[in-house]
Structure 1
Amino acid sequence: MLWIAIRMLTGDRQKFFGLLFGIAFSTLLITQQLTLFVNLLERGASGVFNNANGEVYVMDPVSRTADVVYPMPSTALDRVRSVKGVEWAVPQIRANAAVRTRQGDLEQVAIIGVDDATLIGLPKRLVKGDKNDLRIPDSVIIDDVGAIRMFPGSDPVGERLELNDQRAVIHGIADAVPGFTSTAVLYTTYSRALTFVPGTRNRMSFVIVGAEAGVTPEALAQRIHQQTGLRARTRDEFAQDGVDFILENSGIPFNFGVTVALGFIVGVAIVGLTFSLFIRDNIRQFGALKAIGVTNGKIIRMVAAQAGMVGSIGYCLGLVGTVVSLSLFTRNPFFKGFYVPWQVPLISLMAVIIILAFTGWVALRNVLRTEPAAVFR
């Protein structure tokens, strides 16, 4: 009986391919949009991901993310170092500035000043150059996406920049995760960052802390908060803060949610209409099967086999389309590092199952109500 059901389905090619298109399109739209949504959210945590070291981040109580920060006095560093369980603690400054290139172009950049002695705060890997080049006077390291944006088609190493009337020379390119706004990032030493970006009396953005052996980051963060009154977050918590900030203060969840919902609705509409037309056109065949003794249970299994075949093929085609479309996205450096979380295909699979279950049930009602004698009318 199942073979007969498959032959009935594939015999009407127009409706068969229409069902495949509906499932594939819904899978593509849902999977692609959820993937873009998750990856864009994670860009809010890029300031944490780009730091190769650090288990706890300490900041002013009103600071929220790596990009929304209120500076602290330099004395906060000594207060944090005095907390029991702190193995090391280094300062970091994050500020925005406008730079002028040799060609006279003006660009907005983010300045990150890392500890002069240890250089903690740099990305783990450099595409070009060496991190010790930061000890050269006026040297900075630019992130790879910023390098492409500011110097398209050319090597930025050796380029001179005018940064708030100060001279800066690019000595390296860092392999970094782009931020949410894809702003170019310049890394330099903490002391040099203070001269590049003059400001108020309090300048330090964060204190990055390493825990002693046997001390968990969660316990250390709580201890720092209790003894200093500063906000202390573990690496994972601070990364999540960046994601939560985007969720709470942007229209991204709503916009992507609408697109995913449209993908689901379009899938229901296309598959439901096509499946109903298929069942209606084959109502005499189903009636003939019932006339020769096929029970409603077997009819249900036949329709389920047809839905399962269409769903599995359409779902796979949708995933292939998602991979192809994302591969085109990742050729753009601003979409660097995009990936498909394993939860997203599962969500798409559940959506396909719901679409097929709902539309199959609607279409099946006519078959179950059909009398065997209808085939002779």
Structure 2
Amino acid sequence: MIVTAFKFIKFDRPKSIGILVGIVISIFLIGQQLATLRFLTSLMTALIENSNGEPGDIWVIDNVTKNVNVLSRIDSRIAQEIKSIDGVASSQSILVTNASLTLPNGKTGAVNLVGSDGPVFVAGPHPSRVVAGKLSDLVQSSSVSLEYFNAKSFGIPAEKGQTFELNKKLAVARVITRNAQRFGGDNMYTSLDNVRYFADLPPDKVNAIVVKVKPGADPQMVIDRINATFYGVKAWNAEKLKKSTYSKILISSNMGVSFGSLIVFATISGFFIIGLTLYSSALDRLVDYGTLKAIGATNGYVSRLILTQAFLFALIGFSIAFALLLAFKAAVSNSSLTLEFDWPLSLLLFGFTLFMSVGGSLFAVIKISRLEPASIF
């Protein structure tokens, strides 16, 4: 069956090439958009993604905010009081504020200072994103992290010891991070004391508290107890807070509509282009299919033959498109755009390919199944 299907593909090379081009273009666009959207969503929740917390941690923020990028100040004493809640193992405070950056080359900009206490540094950066220095270096006076890609855009070396000003106060880069940026801004990580020093903030306010639950305790029960005990704050499961942030940003920015519409139109156009090309190819070979049916081939056999061709097109087209996606990933690897094509995304893309190729072949299957062998003679 496969050999016969491959011979049919080779018989009409122009249409076969057209089908493959349609698959490659559609899957490349869909894969590029999905990977870019996933990268952007990771930036939307960078405060959680880059933290040294765990998925089961509880985040306590103000009771109005549903977006982790827009945090109001809460009373810092709550971090100590939360420890008295049954099921709480520990609590760590996070402080986030804006700062004005002035570089030695005269350039200026704005950054977000993200502070938490060592040695845990629950706010981050995560060790996997540290390329130079140690987290413990951030406890030093005036020490901050410097993002590799931000340093490139600022036009300064991405190296330890780099100096600049934050709110007109001298700062020293003791840690270099890579891919620790945030959506719509640049993060610099440091200790709580350093954030308060650079931003002249009082010690009685923080932006978030990360609560770790004791082994065996029910996180949801701990969340309910915190919400029932403290006024003006709300406890969230980390994953639920991430999902809430996604929805807030995607809806308010229409980003979801933009990416989603492109993916939908790429899928629909690919489906009909491939389907109509396969249908046209089947019409050109009516005599061949009619002959097969005349010598005893059943409709089931002929349908499987067409579907096998479609599957081969899908396999070849997906392989080419995926190779191009990997090449594109490598081409942008030195920019701030970091794309990942893991197994779940790869399987999803292959599913799109099968839908367009095998689904589109149903036009030809319906046509050939209705063909009477006598009509071709």
**d(CA) in 1 for partners of 2:313 and 2:178?**
43
The alpha-carbon distance between structure 1 residues 307 and 20, as it changes in their structure 2 partners (threshold 3 A), is same
Residues 123 and 176 in structure 1, CA contact (< 8 A), matched pair in contact too: no
Q: How does 1:249-328 map to 2 (within 5 A)?
A: 249-328=252-331
Q: How does 1:61-72 map to 2 (within 5 A)?
A: 61-72=63-74
Alignment of 1:19 onto 2:22: no
SS in structure 2 at match of 1:123:
coil
Tell me whether 67-76 or 50-59 shows the greater mean CA deviation. 50-59
Alignment of 1:129 onto 2:133: yes
Residues 113 and 188 in structure 2, CA contact (< 8 A), matched pair in contact too: yes
- Percent identity at matched positions? 24
**d(CA) in 2 for partners of 1:111 and 1:37?**
25
- Residues 46-73 of structure 1, C-alpha deviation per residue, up to 9 Å, x if partnerless? 1112111362221111122331111112
Residues 111 and 187 in structure 2, CA contact (< 8 A), matched pair in contact too: yes
The alpha-carbon distance between structure 1 residues 359 and 116, as it changes in their structure 2 partners (threshold 3 A), is closer
- Residues 231-255 of structure 1, C-alpha deviation per residue, up to 9 Å, x if partnerless? 1123323333332332232222111
The alpha-carbon distance between structure 1 residues 266 and 124, as it changes in their structure 2 partners (threshold 3 A), is same
Partner of 1:215: 217
- Residues 101-138 of structure 1, C-alpha deviation per residue, up to 9 Å, x if partnerless? 11211011011121267544332323222333333322
Shift of 1:201: 9.0
**d(CA) in 2 for partners of 1:264 and 1:144?**
36
Structure 1 segments (4+ residues) deviating >6 Å: none
Segments of structure 2 that go 5 or more residues without pairing to the other structure are: none
Q: How does 1:176-187 map to 2 (within 5 A)?
A: 176-181=179-184, 183-187=185-189
Segments of structure 1 that go 5 or more residues without pairing to the other structure are: none
**d(CA) in 2 for partners of 1:214 and 1:353?**
44
Residues 133 and 139 in structure 1, CA contact (< 8 A), matched pair in contact too: yes
Partner of 2:198: 196
**d(CA) in 1 for partners of 2:4 and 2:178?**
57
The alpha-carbon distance between structure 1 residues 123 and 11, as it changes in their structure 2 partners (threshold 3 A), is same
Q: Which has the higher contact order (CA 8 A, sep 6+)?
A: 1
Tell me whether 276-285 or 2-11 shows the greater mean CA deviation. 2-11
In structure 2, which of residues 217, 240, 245 is the aligned counterpart of residue 242 of structure 1? 245
Partner of 1:98: 100
- Residues 13-44 of structure 1, C-alpha deviation per residue, up to 9 Å, x if partnerless? 11121222222222222222222222221221
Residues 42 and 243 in structure 1, CA contact (< 8 A), matched pair in contact too: no
- Residues 199-221 of structure 1, C-alpha deviation per residue, up to 9 Å, x if partnerless? 68963101222223332433322
Shift of 1:368: 3.1
Partner of 1:347: 348
The TM-score, its normalising length taken from structure 1, stands at 0.89
**d(CA) in 2 for partners of 1:375 and 1:211?**
75
Alignment of 1:47 onto 2:47: yes
Residues 67 and 241 in structure 2, CA contact (< 8 A), matched pair in contact too: yes
**d(CA) in 2 for partners of 1:176 and 1:279?**
50
Over the aligned positions, Cα root-mean-square deviation in angstroms equals: 2.5
**d(CA) in 1 for partners of 2:225 and 2:236?**
11
The alpha-carbon distance between structure 1 residues 210 and 304, as it changes in their structure 2 partners (threshold 3 A), is closer
**d(CA) in 2 for partners of 1:359 and 1:90?**
55
**d(CA) in 2 for partners of 1:305 and 1:49?**
43
Shift of 1:282: 1.0
Partner of 1:34: 34
The one-letter code of the counterpart of 1:240 is: K
**d(CA) in 2 for partners of 1:291 and 1:3?**
21
The alpha-carbon distance between structure 1 residues 85 and 9, as it changes in their structure 2 partners (threshold 3 A), is closer
Partner of 2:62: 60
The one-letter code of the counterpart of 2:140 is: I
Alignment of 1:227 onto 2:229: yes
**Count of aligned residue pairs for this structure pair:** 372
Partner of 1:138: 142
The one-letter code of the counterpart of 1:124 is: H
Residues 87 and 218 in structure 2, CA contact (< 8 A), matched pair in contact too: no
The TM-score, its normalising length taken from structure 2, stands at 0.89
Shift of 1:275: 1.1
Residues 30 and 266 in structure 2, CA contact (< 8 A), matched pair in contact too: yes
Partner of 1:369: 370
- Residues 175-209 of structure 1, C-alpha deviation per residue, up to 9 Å, x if partnerless? 4532122x322222212212312368963101222
